[in-house]
A = this chain, B = another copy of it.
Amino acid sequence: VGLREEILEQPAAAARLLGARADFDAIAEAVRQRRPVFVVVAARGSSDNAGLYLQYLLAVRNGIVTALAAPSTITLYGARPKVQGALVVGLSQSGRSPDIVAVLDGARAQGAITVALTNDPGSPLAAAAEHSIDLRAGPERATAATKSYTTELLASALLSFALDPPTAAEDADVARLPALMAEALAAETGARRLAGGHAQRELCTILGRGLGYATAREWALKMQELAQVAALPFSAADFEHGPLALAEPGFAVLAVGSAGPELEAIRPLLQRLRDDHGARLVVLSSDAAALDLDEGLPVPPATPGWLAPIVEIIPAQLYTYHLTIARGLDPDQPRTISKVTKTR
């Protein structure tokens, strides 16, 4: 079983987690009793990108502020930030990152509501948290996280539901998710063709806005660790005021266009990059006009905006997978140290 099989398995993994929604009931009950004042997310790497999605979702759906923890404040400096009234979430595929476990340990000792979202229910992280959710992604053998990332995103949505129950429309949206993810896999042929033409690119910029920023960061990480492309992710809002200086003819831009407000916020910038700076765009979007801005990587048109990160990362993964092969590299044996983040 290699990386491609794990990419293809994502709709099934999401369906498994959806089948276990009752696992979140105990969290919903704890939150009913002690409504958290704010949320802290501790995570690294891909899981940190899932944390960005959780941060946006909790702000928009639940009206609650989320801090992405800086675990090194605890492990390097011995900080003990107060989190009594908080919900503290540890996100980790392996559940074995000592600094993430340390954040949860400290929070639980203070009496915070603690939740682990991990793919290993027997891990130290699961043991450290009061509530542990098994991501049910199944064994992830490839070094690059794919199905553990999308199940972390889905678990984030279900955690948001535990704080405030879904509307009927939201319930219907998540029920359609595995089908939308399966539809997203159909982008593979186009993604392979695109990637084949980009094998010489050593550098690219990846732009996203709002919910799409999580996708931009995760896509960049995949491009770095698999395709060995120096991919710079930016919020499109930050990119315009400084890093835009990097743009010159042929500048490669991968844009997370999504649909809705993210796309409208980013479209004028993409047009300027193409027309005034001579940039070459790959637009990941569910909007037909956005796909036609230059080269396009399609996302299923029926994807609900608030779930877009869970669906749109799939064509991005497939593009990166085939780019890795086109560059003569092995996607199953990236030049990395280890799958488990062991940072203290």
Contacts and interface: CB of A to CB of B under 8 A. Distances in A.
Given A73-B210, A230-B232, A65 B44 contact: no
B334 A72 contact: no
* Interface size band for A: 35 or more
Contacts of A64: 81-82
Interface stretch (A19-27, A149-157, A242-250): A242-250
A135 interface: no
A262 B82 contact: no
A81 B67 contact: no
Contact of A241 (B230, B232, B246, B338): B338
Given A38-B37, A55-B70, A77-B60, A243 B261 contact: no
A320 interface: no
A17 to B, nearest CB: 24
A45 interface: yes
Interface in A231-257: 232, 235, 237-238, 240-247
A235 B73 CA distance: 13
Given A60-B73, A67-B65, A242 B37 contact: no
A224 interface: yes
Interface in A69-121: 69-74, 76-83, 85-86, 99
Q: Which 4 A-B pairs have the closest CB atoms?
A: A67-B67, A225-B242, A59-B73, A237-B343
